[in-house]
Structure 1
Amino acid sequence: MDAPERDSATHFWYTGDPESQAAVDVLQALRRYRTAETRMRARTRQEMRMGENDILAVRHVIRGRQTGHFISPKDLAELLGISSASTTTLIDRLEKSGHIERRPHPTDRRALILMPTPNADDDVRAALAEAHDRMREVAESLTPEERVVVVAFLDRMAGAVGA
């Protein structure tokens, strides 16, 4: 780590003791990861020529198909935290780009479900496969004990920032 990054003056939460500095080092590593992930998402959006919600919508619809759960427009609105009007515009855009299809619900004739097109699978795979492979390799390089610690830490951090 560069000296400026470890400089206590740059961290408002640093208290001066060695244990606090070690915790700051962990938080700085987490910050570097988040920055790298944000850049990866931006590259993916640029490659796919899609906005963040567009990519998230396609991922939710693909995941729904993979898990056998039908995703309705209402479900998508809730998952993305957007209005029904915004959802309609989003679905129209994804349908026009060839990533999503509206289909009748198999058991409820009044309802619609969203299904990914083969094009959607191919585009997402092409954009994310290399990064996901590299990420999986890093995760697989951990010992079982390290994985337990990392998962517990990340779950606790998610709880801390989600509270």
Structure 2
Amino acid sequence: MNCDSAAGSGYWYGLEGQPDPPSAVLHALRSYRAAEVATRRSTRDAMGMGETDLLALRYLLRAQSAGERVGPKDLSRTLGITTASTTSLIDRLVGSGHVRRQPHPTDRRSLVIVPTAATDLEVRATLGEMHRRMLAVAEGLSAQESRIVVGFLRRMTEALDGPDENL
């Protein structure tokens, strides 16, 4: 569906075919989401991996940055995939040189999954400029604008996470 077209369903538009203020906000949010999805697809293609692989790498890099250890069970839980799928995922990422399996430092029966230094550099090179542009936009907001945007996005998240009896 083309989010920029007023010819779609009347859901996003008022009676004259123009978005009213709430619909304009939802339209802009949908356009942002479409751009984000396209960027993620481009990133996956550039790195030669699927969505779950990229999500796993992002999680592993965040955990590493926070000084946290991640085991296969943590990946399974975070990604919402089975242990068998997690094993396949780790095998793929080890095979592509993105992660290493290492013995857990305090539990010799366990393993931790660690992103390689090359992975960190690759992700930074692939996403760094986009993240800088996004940060510049956010830094351009006043403190009041930031509070409004954050509050709006939190309420939208709650609206999406809430129960929907119509589904």
Alignment TM-score, normalising by the size of structure 2: 0.88
Alignment length (residue pairs): 158
Matched position secondary structure for 1:12: helix
Q: Give the letter for the 1:11 counterpart.
A: G
After superposition, the C-alpha distances for 1:85-104 in whole angstroms (9 at most, x for unaligned) are: 00000000000111111111
Q: Following the alignment from structure 2 to structure 1, what is the Cα–Cα distance between the partners of residues 49 and 4?
A: 38
> Structure 1: which amino acid aligns with 2:113?
L
Where has structure 1 moved over 3 Å in runs of 4 or more? Answer: 13-17
Partner of 2:23: 24
Distance (whole Å) between structure 1 residues aligned to residue 48 and residue 57 of structure 2: 13
**Paired letter, 1:41:** R
Unaligned runs of 5+ in 1: none
SS of equivalent residue, structure 2 residue 101:
strand
Cα deviation code 1:92-143 (max 9, x no counterpart): 0000111111111111111111111011101111110111011000000111
**Structure 2 Cα separation of the partners of residues 42 and 134 of structure 1:** 18
**Is 2:103–2:111's contact at 8 Å kept on the other side of the alignment?**
yes
- State how far apart, in whole Å, the 1-side matches of 2:161 and 2:23 are: 20
Distance 1:25 1:115, change over 3 A: same
Cα 1:39–1:3, aligned 2, differ >3 Å: closer, same or farther? closer
Distance in 2 of aligned mates of 1:125 and 1:15: 42
More helix by share: 1
Q: Paired residue for 1:50?
A: 49
Cα RMSD after superposing both structures: 2.0
Distance 1:125 1:29, change over 3 A: same
Q: Structure 1 pair 140/72, CA: closer, same or farther in 2 (3 Å)? A: same
Contact 2:4–2:31 (CA<8 Å) still a contact in 1?
A: no
Q: Using CA pairs below 8 Å that are at least 6 residues apart, which structure has the higher relative contact order?
A: 1
**Is structure 2 residue 145 aligned with structure 1 residue 136?**
no
Is 1:104 the equivalent of 2:103?
yes
Identity between Structure 1 and Structure 2 (%) = 47
